[in-house]
Amino acid sequence: MRPMITRKHFLLGAAATAALAARPAHAAAKFTIRVGVDVPNTHPIAAGLAAAGKAIGATTKGEVNVLVFPNSQLGDDTHMLANVRSGAMQMMSIGDNILATLVPSAAIDNIGFAFKNADMAWKALDGKVGDLVRADIDKAGLVPMPRIWDEGFRQTTSSTKPIQTAADLDGFKIRVPPSPISLAMFKALGASPVSINVAELYTALQTHVVDGQENPLGNIESHKFYQVQKYCSLTNHMWVGFWLVANKGFWTGLPADVQKVVAAAFDAEALKEREANEKLDASLGETLKQQGMTFNSPALPAFQQKLANAGFYKTWQEKLGAKLWSALEKYTGQLG
């Protein structure tokens, strides 16, 4: 059995950093944290996880080794989530829409057209909405880091036509992630959604299993979907955050002082990642145009009204519960 880190290796707060700085630079790793994520290594989420890993290694003088596996190297989201729950993996970064298959309340920030901007979403998830979701993640046997990461607003792309109006979605074959709320939203909008993991999406678009998909601009560019999609409609229909979660058995097996170092490093990078993703998103429209995509900005109230007419908001208010819905509307205003 490997030796355990004792409290004499770590002290709280600034004293912990000072004590660790005085330790030999070549201490062997006593804990290894494998972190999986589905985005490519060029995405701000993957880059931020890697930066946090370096910071953790430096602060602990190599006693905690963080290995980041981007681009679904450890399997698709469903596979990784199962492995984190079983303890085969220590941590993963997972979209709230996928996490909602296990923790239904994680879908609260995916409500269609709920947030006007990313700052509104961050305030909700750092605040009362996030408190309720984190409690539910914990009940599901996972440990969430305090701050959510930003994947951004999702846009709709197509190989056949721009989505100008809500009617353009009628019967439209669109890929959505394996997420109940994504399926429900596009069915309510009249589309024909198909759940496909992102690792298989490029091929599905290339072979016309589906004619369109919806993702933030960062994913559209990093996964090279512009090679198989012509039109990008700025629907801003859903904001998605990524929760960084750990296997509870592994996490509770870490000394409390190590937990503080790890959580603090990941949370510091989460704040940086949010800003980086916003800057990237602002620049990607022009980049994707140069790569051959055509953009349009549809009028969104008609999409929202179609969701309301289909009972989408009422259904999800009932599914998620009055307490969580009320917490959301304190940030967004009344929905539906």
- Predicted pLDDT at 240: 95
Nearest to residue 281, comparing CAs of 222, 195, 194? 222
Residue of 200, 121, 122, 149 lying closest to 44 (CA atoms)? 149
- The conformational region for residue 193 under phi > 0 = left, psi -120 to 50 = alpha, else beta, is beta
Sequence-distant (≥ 6) Cβ neighbours of residue 137 within 8 angstroms: 99, 103, 106, 143, 144, 243, 245
DSSP H helices, the chain, are: 13-21, 44-59, 77-86, 96-99, 118-126, 128-139, 180-188, 201-206, 217-222, 248-252, 256-290, 301-309, 312-320, 322-332
Q: Say if residues 39 and 70 touch (Cβ distance below 8 Å).
A: yes
Supply the mean pLDDT for the chain: 91
Concatenated DSSP letters for 203-228?
HHHHTTSSSEEEE-HHHHHHTTGGGT
DSSP string, 303-327: HHHHHHHTTHHHHHHHHH-HHHHHH
Tokens 């046997």, residue? 141
- What is the model's pLDDT at position 79? 95
Beta bridge partners of 245: 92, 144
Q: How far apart are CA 297 and CA 234, in angstroms?
A: 5
Return the closest-CA partner of residue 115 out of 323, 276, 335, 325.
335
Tokens representing residue 256 in the block: 């409390």
Q: What is the pLDDT of residue 138?
A: 98
Domains of the chain, by residue range, sit at 7-329
Can you give the pLDDT at residue 29? 85
User: Which residue stretches of the chain have pLDDT < 50?
Assistant: 1-26
Please give the helix or strand (H or E) that residue 143 lies within, else none: strand 142-144
What is d(CA 215, CA 233) in angstroms, rounded to the nearest whole number? Answer: 11
- The domain covering 7-329 belongs, at the CATH homologous superfamily level, to Bacterial extracellular solute-binding protein, family 7 (3.40.190.170)
The string of pLDDT tens digits covering residues 102-120 is: 999 999 999 999 999 999 9
Q: What is the pLDDT of residues 260-317, one digit of tens each?
A: 999 999 999 999 999 999 999 999 999 999 999 999 999 999 999 999 999 999 999 9
Rg (CA), the chain: 21
Tokens of 126: 């750092």
Record the tokens describing residue 25, joined without a space: 């630079």
Give the pLDDT of residue 48.
98
Task: Answer whether 163's CB lies under 8 Å from 169's CB.
Answer: yes
CB contact at 8 A, 270 and 149: yes
pLDDT at 27: 52
Q: What are the two backbone dihedrals, phi and then psi, of residue 37, each rounded to the nearest 5 degrees?
A: -155, 150
